[in-house]
Chain A
Amino acid sequence: DAGVIQSPRHEVTEMGQEVTLRCKPISGHDYLFWYRQTMMRGLELLIYFNNNVPIDDSGMPEDRFSAKMPNASFSTLKIQPSEPRDSAVYFCASSFSGYEQYFGPGTRLTVT
């Protein structure tokens, strides 16, 4: 298996632009998680899905952030409009049981 796939690996954008991050989970996994990693706050859970349904989005920082999972093979995390403080590494993880998560390589987002 190719593991969790994320794209793009790096994204540089200007403040105010829309940013879309993509994730393909491991085939057969029914849980998908989005995390954000910053130097100040470490790794934080933003939202997670079970069977394509959002279960807990309490970690989503603001209404500028939204996440979707239209099918079992694909999820997006969108930021609109983006701000410099959104600069971070965004990780996607998937799981079969929910209790052992496998992480993707991450997307490094820089908002100037």
Chain B
Amino acid sequence: KQEVTQIPAALSVPEGENLVLNCSFTDSAIYNLQWFRQDPGKGLTSLLLIQSSQREQTSGRLNASLDKSSGRSTLYIAASQPGDSATYLCAVTDSNYKLTFGKGTLLTVNP
């Protein structure tokens, strides 16, 4: 059974700092990996999707990497802003379209 772990569970940083969120998964037979953002009381917004054949994806200040063989992904956020404060979820998709989520990292960016 696939398990996804996210470290740290919570992170508090000052505005402007670069930061890294970590995600690991136990079964490397994934189709893709997605990073989502969830604001309190809201739904999930997809940030980046990395296909299993890719190593990284970039969108603006966000960069996600994938090392499928070692079962790891990182989400790098450059020059963090208070508006980046949210819970960040990592999820992997298997060949049967099932998404397995981590518990998330709660990020607080202090002005």
B57 on interface, CB distance cutoff 8 Å:
no
Taking a contact as CB atoms under 8 Å apart, the answer to whether A106 and B43 are in contact is yes
**Residue from the set A48, A56, A100, A102 with the largest chain B CB neighbour count within 10 Å:** A100
Residues of A within 8 A of B (CB): 31, 33, 35, 42-45, 48, 56, 91, 95, 98-106, 108
Q: Is the interface of A mostly helix, strand, loop or mixed?
A: strand
Taking a contact as CB atoms under 8 Å apart, the answer to whether A99 and B42 are in contact is no
State the interface size on chain B (CB cutoff 8 A).
23
B34 on interface, CB distance cutoff 8 Å:
yes
Chain A min CB distance to B46 (Å): 7
Distance, CA A101 to CA B31, complexed state (A): 13
* A56 and B43 contact, Cβ closer than 8 Å, known pairs A43-B89, A99-B31, A99-B32: no
